[in-house]
Structure 1
Amino acid sequence: MNWHLHFLGTGAAHAVELGSSAVVLERDGEPLLLIDCGPDTLDRYRAAYGSLPRALYITHTHMDHIGGMERLFTRVWFDEALRGTIRVFCHAALVPWLQARVADYPGVLAEGGVNYWEAFRLVPCTRGFWLDGLWFDVFATRHHRPDTSFGLALAGSFAYTGDTRPIPEVLERYAGNGELVAHDCGLHGNPSHTGIDDIEREYDAVLRRRLLLYHYGSAADGAALSARGYRVAATGQRIALRMPTPPRADAG
């Protein structure tokens, strides 16, 4: 069985030429889970797979990560075969923010009579969630105020930070067994995002060798990060993963 992370986009919010940061976990070439849904993510997803995602995980509610959800709602609502079947996983702490940003505007459709979440199966979680027999760990990251941003890990395979400052103690717990770590990193850090100097200060050499950097500011920034010896994800790239380990006995 083959596992890959397919990077639909790798850019920071302003790096529109790189696409909104979003990835698809693939199993044997088939999409299993989309992580984040920015303004251009659906177009990129449909170009790659010819369909809509059946499962979506939201890391946080900045618009470069959820800006495609209104469009996804419209496509799903008017397809009776899909309506109510697409699972949207997010940490329970994000539900009020997600509700306010995408679901609470009066009159989801001009005709009325429609509730936004009836188009989906919203699955709030805290420690993690099950999907197709796999347990995905959910962990808090450091992005603006606490409890507003959460990464995702699949034991033995990968961790995906979403937007974050450095979180060495968290990655030790959720990606401490050789997993690939897809990590937010720009050429320069700021109070909400990791910069390459932060990486070199906060993470040891062993972890740095497992990093795959994304969410950078431009193609030139990506090249500069690569020139410093780091793996840098490219838009459209598929990265091979190790097979996940069986879920822990205490998972769920």
Structure 2
Amino acid sequence: MKITFLGTGTSQGIPVIGSKHPVCLSKNSKDKRLRSSILIEKEKKIFLIDCGPDFRYQMLRSNHEKLNAIFITHEHQDHIGGLDDIRSINLNMNQSIPIYGLRRVIENLKKRFFYIFSKNKKSNISVITVHELDDCKKFFFVENSKIFPLSIWHDYLPILGFRIENFAYITDASRIPIQTIQKLKGINILVLNVLRKVPKNPFSIILDDTLNIIREICPQKTYLTHISHTFGFHEKIEPQLPKNVYLAYDKLILNL
């Protein structure tokens, strides 16, 4: 299984428009972060988790032109804003692309991208099929791969993470229920969000919270994503992290 980090930044990305923060002015490519998204390649099938506003450029940059499924964690713009651009993928594959998400998220997509779901298409020719995931107790299969939806909280909003084999992806978590922690105990590779060191934020965990969760789950390795520019420079932060905890960065590839 091959993992490609398409983006590892927060909703604003790095650099932030107009910001003179030192990280935003950094020349290090690892400090330049598009909105968070990830590709999973398994047995010649390609799965996308989240389709943010940078989706078009991310696919061009990673040299990918096919998708066999899209998993959506939640409906915020930085996680769905690129959905319009899947039409090029449709043309390349000449088939519909299935999208998986909570019922609330699917209904939101139908409203915000009504023209994609319209029966009388006039311009956008994207073709997608939707699959509602409202029972996180059950796994489901996509292209013969067993997928486990994970219940996560993003402040007051219930959202999803996803586990495939011994790999799990969680982003934008502010709290992870104990039932989900139990499902992840001893996993090989965990991807987990971290916003910054301080101050606290109701929508996303900061470094101390992230490290506490990692200690509970005890994965072999953890890669941090959904990173704010206020967290600091990549080259300065990573040496300060515990053993087997790493900062993910755009275009990072893991072969599992």
Q: Aligned residues: percent identity? A: 19
Whether contact under 8 Å (2:186, 2:218) holds in the other structure is: no
Give the alignment partner of residue 132 of structure 1, picking from 143, 153, 158: 143
Local SS of the residue matching 1:182: strand
Tell me which of 151, 164, 171 is aligned to 1:154. 164
Kindly state the Cα deviation for residue 88 of structure 1 after the two structures are TM-superposed. 1.0
Q: Give the TM-score normalised by the residue count of structure 2.
A: 0.77
Secondary structure of the 1:65 match is: helix
Task: State the Cα distance separating 1:158 from its structure 2 match.
Answer: 0.8
| Native 8 Å contact 1:182 1:214 kept in 2 | yes
Query: Residue 59 of structure 2 is aligned with which of 32, 37, 45?
Result: 45
Give distance in 2, aligned partners of 1:117 and 1:144.
35
Partner of 1:214: 225
Task: State yes or no: 1:113 paired with 2:120.
Answer: yes
- Map residues 48-197 of structure 1 onto 2, 5 A cutoff: 48-73=62-87, 75=88, 79=91, 82-83=94-95, 85-101=96-112, 103-104=113-114, 113-114=120-121, 119-126=127-134, 127-147=138-158, 149-155=159-165, 157-167=166-176, 169-188=178-197, 189-197=200-208
Paired residue for 2:254, among 239, 243, 246?
239
May I ask how many residue pairs the two structures share in their alignment?
229
Instruction: Summarize deviations over 1:213-236 as a string: whole Å, max 9, x none.
Output: 011013835444413223111110
For 1:8, the aligned partner's letter is: L
Deviations 1:26-61 (A, max 9, x none): 236x45201111111222223323414231111111
Answering whether residue 23 of structure 2 is matched by residue 13 of structure 1, we say: no
Query: Which residues of structure 2 form unaligned runs of 5+?
Result: 15-31
Using a 3 Å threshold, how does the CA distance of structure 1 residues 210 and 167 change in structure 2: closer, same or farther?
farther
CA deviation digits over 1:199-249, x for unaligned, max 9?
Answer: 2345427627632101101383544441322311111011232xxxxxxxx
TM-score (norm 1): 0.78
**What whole-Å deviation, never above 9, does each CA across 1:70-112 have from its counterpart, x for those lacking one?**
2224x357x39625x11111122322222233x23xx569xx9
RMSD across aligned positions (CA): 3.0
In the other structure, the counterpart of 2:209 is: 198
- Give the aligned partner of residue 39 of structure 2: 24
The equivalent residue for 1:36 is 50
How far, CA to CA, are the matches of 1:34 and 1:234 in structure 2?
A: 17
SS of corresponding position for 1:164: coil
